Structure 1
Amino acid sequence: MILTTLLLIAIGYVLGAIPSGYLAARWMKGIDLRDCGSGSTGATNVLRNVGKVPALVVFLIDVGKGALAVLLTKAFGLNDWLQVLAGLAALAGHIWPIWLGFKGGKAVATGFGMFLGLAWPVGLACFGLFMAVISIFRIVSLASVVAALGLPLLMLAAGQSSAYLAVSLVAALLVLWRHRSNVQRLIAGTEPRIGQKQTAT
């Protein structure tokens, strides 16, 4: 069981580290996404620098990475805490992918996938919150931060296990940390809305 657990956590990291955004930018535009816009390899930076369809594909792949990492542990009957570890491994892989010198994305889509795998009603509720904010303000980072802050509250309201609640807090902190430059731009009123280009920072 220990070997199975370690293997599944390693698989979670490898899944998370699949550089979907980086590859999309390389294949379609011949650019290194890490040198463009925010420097993130996530779907938002793909949207701004490559296009809508590639961004959607990257988003779906990144969601799938987080969900699959968790669902594999569930298929093997591992407990809530071990499911959480596999999900966190996927987040770590997405944020710090070994293939890209440990410089990846901000883990919003992968985190969404992880929570769909852990507790899909909470995941969908969090996505609804994200979509509500983005439809009003058209700022992806603001929607991401609001959804991250709402996640632990939604998990608590749903009466989920302590493991799921703990990882929701960790995930929220990770998203906030990865969006710290975005938060500074939000405060300064310089964060771009959907459809606007973002200059490198």
Structure 2
Amino acid sequence: MQTALIALAAYLLGSISFAVVVSRAMRLPDPRGYGSGNPGATNVLRSGSRTAAALTLAGDAAKGWLAVWLTVLYTGQAPAAGLEAPLAGLCAFLGHLYPVFHRFRGGKGVATAVGVLIGIDAWLGLATLVSFGVVALFFRMVSFASLLAAVFAACFTFWLYGLRPVSAVVAVMVVLLVARHRDNIRRLLRGEERRIGEGKG
């Protein structure tokens, strides 16, 4: 019962789409109606408001982190020691992808996944962010950097924790994140994916 309640609360927290909330608060267009149609920080940036994009990024990451750490405070377990905290992170991630408050039209989950990783292990989150930054710097493609960083995150988690539940949870998040990037993957394979600074992608 406790695990089910934690999962539900984390999902509801994850269902808060900061791209939509911030855009409404700042009287900007709904991010689901322009650019890529994705309610995430990268698309919100296309509205021309860096502040809105930064707030979206921070909010989406924070809810992933908060889901993990509220669970840690409630259960008293270390983030990676049991199932509850990683599961809460996964449910927050699922809430972001399929938000009940926004007709299940969610984002791709990159920022929320990073927040979950930081909540589980700050070094794990930092290593993933560095991986993203290096790939983005050299290839100048957010989607490609996100995909590679996700794969690295799964590898880092397994290296740090072996066959614990946290490794399985991160693996599931990575699979879902890759699936949400399927259109980007098709464009990458065709050589049509936009680079940073090139406009609509």
Q: Determine the structure 2 residue equivalent to 1:51.
A: 49
* Residue 8 of structure 1: aligned partner: 6
Higher deviation after alignment, 18-27 or 34-43: 18-27
Distance 1:161 1:67, change over 3 A: farther
SS at 1:197's partner residue? coil
Match of 1:167 in 2: 169
Q: 1:43-94, CA deviations, whole angstroms, 9 ceiling, x for partnerless residues?
A: 1111223432211111111110000001111112256211122111101111
**Corresponding residue for residue 100 of structure 1:** 102
Q: Choose 159-168 or 10-19, whichever is displaced more.
A: 159-168
Inter-partner Cα distance in structure 2 for 1:47 and 1:54: 7
2:161 aligned partner, one-letter code: G
Q: How does 1:117-128 map to 2 (within 5 A)?
A: 117-128=119-130
Aligned equivalents of 1:53, 1:130: Cα separation in 2: 21
- Residue type matched to 2:168 in 1? A
1:25-104 maps to which residues of 2 (within 5 A)? 25-77=23-75, 78=77, 80-104=82-106
Letter in 2 for 1:30: L
1:18 to 13, 16, 19: 16
Aligned partners of 1:167 and 1:119: how far apart in 2? 14
Shift of 1:175: 0.9
Q: Secondary structure at the match of 1:5?
A: helix
Deviation at 1:197, TM superposition (A): 2.1
Residue number among 185, 188, 194 corresponding to 1:186 in the alignment: 188
Equivalents in 2 of 1:28, 1:160: separation in Å?
44
Q: Which amino acid aligns with 2:126?
A: L
The aligned length equals 197
* SS, match of residue 80 in structure 1: coil
Asked whether the equivalents of residues 140 and 195 of structure 2 are also in contact (C-alpha less than 8 Å), the reply is: yes
Q: What displacement does 1:112 show?
A: 0.5
Partner of residue 132, structure 1: 134
The gaps in structure 1 that reach 5 residues or longer are none
- Within 5 Å, which residues of 2 pair with 1:146-161? 146-159=148-161
Deviates more, 1:48-57 or 1:176-185: 48-57
Alignment correspondent of 1:113: 115
TM-score normalised by length of structure 1: 0.91
1:161 is displaced (CA, Å) by 5.6
Q: 1:160 to 1:68 in 2, by over 3 A?
A: farther
1:196 is the counterpart of 2:194? no
Note the aligned Cα RMSD (angstroms).
Answer: 1.6
8 Å CA contact 2:96–2:109 kept in 1: the answer is yes
| Preserved contact between residue 134 and residue 143 of structure 1 (Cα < 8 Å) | yes
User: How far, CA to CA, are the matches of 2:130 and 2:27 in structure 1?
Assistant: 32
State the 1:29 CA deviation. Answer: 5.0
C-alpha displacement of 1:156: 1.8
Structure 1 counterpart of 2:110, one-letter code = V
Q: Which has the higher contact order (CA 8 A, sep 6+)?
A: 1
Shift in Å, 1:191: 1.3
Match of 1:49, SS state, is coil
Name the SS for the 1:194 alignment partner: coil
